[in-house]
């Protein structure tokens, strides 16, 4: 039974039980436990479709102090399965806040648990790898029942999650970033290639975030967002200047239809992929992907650009990676992670196609990778300027 004063439990497949206090919605929810090292930006994390099926542990000790506002959602709903924090802030003090984190999670039907030793839990995940778990507020369930439920949960491998979070129909996006001052250092407004609507980009929605669309629009793109299952022929019939392959949840090997689509687009139009889109492009190149021990989740991952030696601090959210040893000789690895050495970026040596494993849109996170949008624009401009054969 739950100890007095404790109203929620986290049960892990390794047999451990973690007691805490409930917030958000009541009930029992399974998920894949991952930790996120971001200090801020929990609202963007909660609404990132890439967290579908996962229960997120925040390593920052206090969460909730800025509340929830109308502007920072990266999608129209909460996608993760549960939320774990060390200390839930007793008040929301940001001037933009319209409600508390607890109220908002409850309204979206997602459970949270506070009072957990998140440092100890994170160390366990780092040492043993990602674990399946269950958050529960139900006092009628025994510890053993919850542990068994965690063990019996199917997990996320081999499941097409992108197909569950993608849009139902194509739509247009033209709105740029509102707070332009955040990105002023890149001076994209002085570039003639970034005038509004100059380039038409078709963006595949594998779980796309709104700030990606804002950044593409800010860099002069008129964006048509299409569902993940859109065939290459339909995309090419839209006559895009480039195709963007978005972030998204789950196992890239579980979306073979997307791999075939991207393979058909290679060489026909410039391609830029991020996160799941990067992994799908790697499979389309002929490479393979593999599962990381505990993934990369957070806004402080150091990535090195091999051609220049430049180091970027970047935002990540992925459990899988491209195996660079399986890529063909026509593909160059351009970025590596300085923590574990995994492939973080690649480029085709001949065809106009490149990708990165992380999130250049900085929602949340640093802005070091924002110039990659300008690189995509330059690639589209270069292809457009070539004479027709």
Contact by Cβ (8 Å): 315, 366: yes
CA distance 117 to 122: 9
Provide Rg for the chain, Cα atoms: 21
Q: Which of 275, 312, 316, 343 is catalytic?
A: 275
Instruction: Tell me 293's DSSP state.
Output: E
| CB neighbourhood size of 386 (10 A) | 8
Find the length of the chain: 389
Contact by Cβ (8 Å): 256, 242: no
Residue 239 falls in the annotated catalytic set: no
Q: Where do we find the tokens 């994209």?
A: 188
Residue 361 falls in the annotated catalytic set: yes
Instruction: Tell me 193's DSSP state.
Output: G
Contact by Cβ (8 Å): 114, 24: no
CA distance 39 to 162: 27
* Structure tokens that stand for 277 in this block: 């889109």
Residue 289 phi/psi, 5-degree rounding, is -120, 165
> Cα separations (Å) of 332 from 8, 287, 326, 336?
48, 12, 12, 11
Label residue 229 exposed, middle or buried (CB < 10 Å: 0-12, 13-18, 19+): middle
CA distance 115 to 285: 46
What does the CA dihedral 61, 362, 288, 268 come to, rounded to 10 degrees? 170
Beta bridge partners of 199: 221
Q: Which of 296, 297, 335, 359 is catalytic?
A: 359
Name which of 174, 324, 202, 196 is nearest 270 in CA terms.
202
Name which of 45, 44, 84, 89 is nearest 63 in CA terms.
89
Residue 359 falls in the annotated catalytic set: yes
CA end-to-end distance (rounded Å), the chain: 74
Q: Which of 44, 221, 361, 367 is catalytic?
A: 361
Residues taking part in catalysis: 275, 359, 361
């Amino acid at each position: 039974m739950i100890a007095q004063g404790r109203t929620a439990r986290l049960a892990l497949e390794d047999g451990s039980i973690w007691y805490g206090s409930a917030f958000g919605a009541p009930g029992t929810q399974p998920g894949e436990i991952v930790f996120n090292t971001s200090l801020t930006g929990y609202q963007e994390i909660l609404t990132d479709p890439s967290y579908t099926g996962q229960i997120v542990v925040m390593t920052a000790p206090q969460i909730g102090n800025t509340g929830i506002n109308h502007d920072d959602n990266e999608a129209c709903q909460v996608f993760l399965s549960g939320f774990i924090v060390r200390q839930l802030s007793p008040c929301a003090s940001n001037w933009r806040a319209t409600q508390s984190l607890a109220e908002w999670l409850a309204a979206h039907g997602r459970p949270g648990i506070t009072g957990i030793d998140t440092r100890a839990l994170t160390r366990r995940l780092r040492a043993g790898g990602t674990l399946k778990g269950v958050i529960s507020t139900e006092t009628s369930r025994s510890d053993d029942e919850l542990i068994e439920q965690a063990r019996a949960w199917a997990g996320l491998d081999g499941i097409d999650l992108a197909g569950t979070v993608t849009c139902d129909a194509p739509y247009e996006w033209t709105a740029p970033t509102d707070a332009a001052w955040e990105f002023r250092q890149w001076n994209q407004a002085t570039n003639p290639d970034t005038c509004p609507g100059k380039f038409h980009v078709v963006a595949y929605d594998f779980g796309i975030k709104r700030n990606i669309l804002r950044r593409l629009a800010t860099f002069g793109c008129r964006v048509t967002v299409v569902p993940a299952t859109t065939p290459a022929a339909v995309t090419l019939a839209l006559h895009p200047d480039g195709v963007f392959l978005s972030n998204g949840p789950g196992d890239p090997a579980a979306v073979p239809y997307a791999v075939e689509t991207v393979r058909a687009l290679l060489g026909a139009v410039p391609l830029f992929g991020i996160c799941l889109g990067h992994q799908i492009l790697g499979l389309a190149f002929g490479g393979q992907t593999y599962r990381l021990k505990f993934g990369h989740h957070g806004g402080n991952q150091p990535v090195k650009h091999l051609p220049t030696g430049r180091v970027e601090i970047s935002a990540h959210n992925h459990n899988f990676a491209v195996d660079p040893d399986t890529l063909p000789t026509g593909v160059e690895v351009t970025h590596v992670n300085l923590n574990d050495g995994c492939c973080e970026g690649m480029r085709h040596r001949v065809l106009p196609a490149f990708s990165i494993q992380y999130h250049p849109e900085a929602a949340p996170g640093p802005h070091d990778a924002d110039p990659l949008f300008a690189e995509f624009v330059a690639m589209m401009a270069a292809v457009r300027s070539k004479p027709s054969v």
